Amino acid sequence: MAALIVQTAGEPSYRILLESTKVRIGRSENNEICLAGDAAVSRFHAEITVVGERYFLDDLGSRNGTFVNGSPVDRRTPLPPRCRIQVGKAVITLTGSPGTHDGDTVPMPEELASNSVILSASQVVEAGSLPGGTVSGLAPEAENPHARAFAALSRWAPDLMSDRPLSEVLTLVLDMVFQAIAPERGALLLLEGEPPKLKPGASRGMQPGTDGSKLVSATIAERVIGRQQSVLTSDAQIDPRFMEAQSIVQQSVHSAMSVPLWNNSEVIGMIYVDTVLRPVSFSKVDLEVLTLLANLSAIKIDHVGLFERDQKMRELERELQAAAKIQRRLLPGEAPSFAGYDIHGRNDPCHAVGGDYFDFQPRDNGCLGIALGDVSGKGMGAALLMATLQASFRAHAATNASPRELVERLNRAVCANSEADKFITFFYGELDGETHTLHYVNAGHNPPLLFRANGTLEPLRTGGLILGFEPTIRYTAEEVTLAPGDLLLLFTDGVTEAQGPEGEEFGEQRLSEIVRRAGQAPSADIAQRIRDEVDAFTHGAEAFDDFTLCVIRRTD
């Protein structure tokens, strides 16, 4: 019996038997073919009429038209066999004729040529399975794909079950495929990267410099990877899906199969095999066998990949722990002793290594250099840039550069040694122990808060843009004088932007209240109180940014 194969974007294809003399197409649910999700389709768009042994198509005055084999329909149009009707984004293919019976299978539009077979990988895997892992059916091995796959797997199980690196497992999988299917060439491709792309894993029988990836056309890859389908062609030279890969044509590929490496939850790659010299074509049973072997192999490959990734993660963890120790050594081990001042610094990275930095550096003029910075980003990249900043800061702090000159030199160094999307917010102050004057430059950092003993609060904002934005930036310096009892608090945004369960930020107001309530408590105690109150505010949730602060109080 004749049928219509309906393909809509993003949906599985389906068929409708032409059992009546009229079939209407449109967005309305009253149509036999309802295309409700396509705005380009009119409510009653087109109609197919069966007259004897012939088919006719009428456009019902649709807004966007109806097309048959690419030509617009402007009057009642006869439909030739296997024609393609375009309605909006849907493609409807006519197959069979009123007087024929196709049995239970109607080919999909891409399968209309007799040289192709397309199967659902999951259905092949699930078909014939019985509890306990037995294979259903009593067909001999040559006819039963499950039996053939089971026999091949049994022969190779000892090798596949042993602990081997992934590269060896991929080679073993191809060995098993070649014994079970006997192709002339084969390639195993894995999805890697983001976005995922097919990368060569193993190959056999290929010419030097060929890994098999160029033999897979975009159409085949979309079917195998995107739709989890296994594809067979008995004549790749005339199959348009395989002809997209020019190497298929150039190398005179005869019969070819492509199947997904499906691990029962996702596709992790594909297997491609073909014949070039032999005229013998692969069969549907061969395709089923290859599909089953690929499924079993994908599970093994996935397990090996997880194991190797776990090993790499363990190695990375060891490297991060070592890097964390190195980074801790870059930060001050203890607060400096500076007459008339109680000083404390603290850094808690949210990961093993972080991008926050603070430092206390004595200057040759007897002043104390105080630095605090926050590198954009997290993790190892930010930590490396932080280490570069630390080395550059200490080198320039050993010169007689003024605070403004020092920050400008740092900015040029950061611009020269970091990527365009990396920058640093930075504060530098130079405290004179005799005059108690702080000369400072703020390069785009959270303004430090100067709590006066008389109860007033002064944010230190003067400076310029962040480091790493433009090497020619000129900065402005400012000075303030600290009176007895005054307290200067430097912090990074990991303190004030810590979030509570409802997404509310901790904020500067809460931070200020903690300092005011602390009175004349030691600087280390104030730092700990801030840490404790931030933790209580976030209910101990995992931090998403580094926590760094410096507390400096004039005591005399």
- Is residue 505 a contact partner of residue 499, using CB atoms and an 8 Å limit? yes
CATH number of the domain residue 513 falls in = 3.60.40.10
Same-domain status, 299 and 207: yes
- Same domain for 354 and 281, yes or no, is no
Average model confidence (pLDDT) across the chain: 82
In angstroms, rounded to a whole number, what is the distance separating the alpha carbons of residues 292 and 222?
Answer: 20
Closest-CA residue to 553 (of 531, 529, 513, 525): 525
The answer to whether residue 105 is domain-embedded is no
Please, how many CA atoms are within 13 Å of residue 500, restricted to the half-sphere of its CB?
A: 9
Whether residue 301 lies inside any domain: the answer is: yes
What's the whole-number mean pLDDT along residues 244-250? 50
Query: H/E/C letters for each residue in 202-267?
Result: EEECCCCCCCCHHHCCHHHHHHHHHCCEEEEECCCCCCHHHHCCHHHHHCCCCEEEEEEEECCCCE
89 and 20 in a common domain: yes
Please tell me whether residues 65 and 165 are part of one structural domain.
no
Phi-psi map region of 69: left, alpha, beta (phi>0 left; psi -120 to 50 alpha) = left
The answer to whether position 318 is within a domain reads no
Residue 449 pLDDT: 97
Q: For residue 308, what are the CA distances in angstroms to 81, 162, 163, 266, 354?
A: 54, 14, 11, 19, 26
Q: Which residues contact 503 (CB under 8 A, 6 or more apart)?
A: none
Whether 136 maps to a domain, the answer reads no
| 393 and 470 co-located in one domain | yes
Over range 542-553, report the average pLDDT: 89
pLDDT category at 506 given cuts 50, 70, 90 is very high
Tokens (6 digits) for 120: 């659902």
How far is the C-alpha of 153 from the C-alpha of 156, rounded, in Å? 5
Looking at the structure, do residues 38 and 150 belong to the same domain, yes or no?
Answer: no
For residues 189 and 288, membership in a common domain is answered with: yes
Buried b (16+ CB within 10 A) or exposed e, 48-84: bbbeeeebebbbeebeebbbbeeeebeeebebeeebb
CATH number for the domain spanning 154: value is 3.30.450.40
Cα–Cα distance for residue pair 309/305, rounded to 1 Å? 6
What is the extent of the structural domain holding 252?
Answer: 117-122+143-306
> Does 380 share its domain with 335?
yes
- Return d(Cα 48, Cα 188) in angstroms, integer: 45
Q: Is residue 446 domain-resident?
A: yes
- pLDDT at residue 47 tops 50: yes
Query: Does 426 lie in the same domain as 279?
Result: no
pLDDT at 138 over 60: no
Residue 322, domain member (yes or no): no
Convert the pLDDT of each residue in 261-314 to its tens digit.
998 888 999 999 988 766 567 888 889 999 989 998 898 888 886 655 666 666
Q: Are residues 393 and 542 in the same domain?
A: yes
Boundary of a domain, candidates 291, 306, 321: 306
> What phi-psi label fits residue 387: left (phi over 0), alpha (psi between -120 and 50 degrees) or beta?
alpha
Pair 443, 546 in one domain: yes
Task: List the CATH number of the domain containing 75.
Answer: 2.60.200.20
Residue 130 lies in a domain: no
**How many domains is the chain built from?**
3
Considering 306, 341, 364, which residue would you say is the last residue of a domain? 306
Based on the fold, state whether residues 357 and 476 are members of the same structural domain: yes
pLDDT digits (tens, 9 = 90+) for 336-355: 899 999 999 998 887 656 67
For residue 435, give both structure tokens. 């005059």
Task: Return the ∠ at Cα 259 (arms to 184 and 289), rounded to 5°.
Answer: 70
How many CA atoms does the CB half-sphere of 425 hold within 13 Å?
A: 16
Token pair belonging to 280: 């013998």
Name the percent of the chain lying above pLDDT 90. 35
**Residue at 90 is within a domain:** yes
